[in-house]
């Protein structure tokens, strides 16, 4: 478990830019949806769906990326 946590921190350090990019897209989507709902163009239920989609994708992407890095490190015997 200690090796996995070390690898996870290494992976998070390496993925700062993609994390920032995805977080920016998520915040922009939330702002856009909020603006459209405030204008009355869309129903408030759209906001829930628009927020749930990126918020479920983001953690799953981080976990997948960590396991892919672990797989590469394990294969190259550099863990």
pLDDT per residue as tens digits for the range 4-53: 888 778 777 877 888 888 889 888 988 998 898 888 888 878 788 878 88
| pLDDT, position 28 | 92
All structural domains of the chain with their residue ranges: 14-71
Judge whether residue 64 has pLDDT over 70: yes
CA 65 to each of CA 45, 52, 71: distance values in angstroms, whole numbers, following the listed order: 31, 20, 10
What mean pLDDT do residues 47-72 have? 82
Judge whether residue 78 has pLDDT over 80: no
| pLDDT, position 50 | 79
| pLDDT, position 79 | 64
């Amino acid at each position: 478990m200690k090796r996995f946590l070390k690898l996870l921190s290494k992976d998070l350090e390496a993925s700062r830019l993609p994390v920032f990019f995805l977080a920016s897209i998520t915040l922009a989507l939330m702002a856009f949806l909020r603006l459209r709902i405030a204008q009355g163009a869309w129903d408030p239920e759209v906001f829930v769906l628009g927020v749930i989609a990126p918020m479920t994708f983001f953690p799953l992407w981080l976990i997948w990326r960590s396991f892919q890095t672990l797989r590469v490190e394990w294969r190259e015997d550099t863990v």
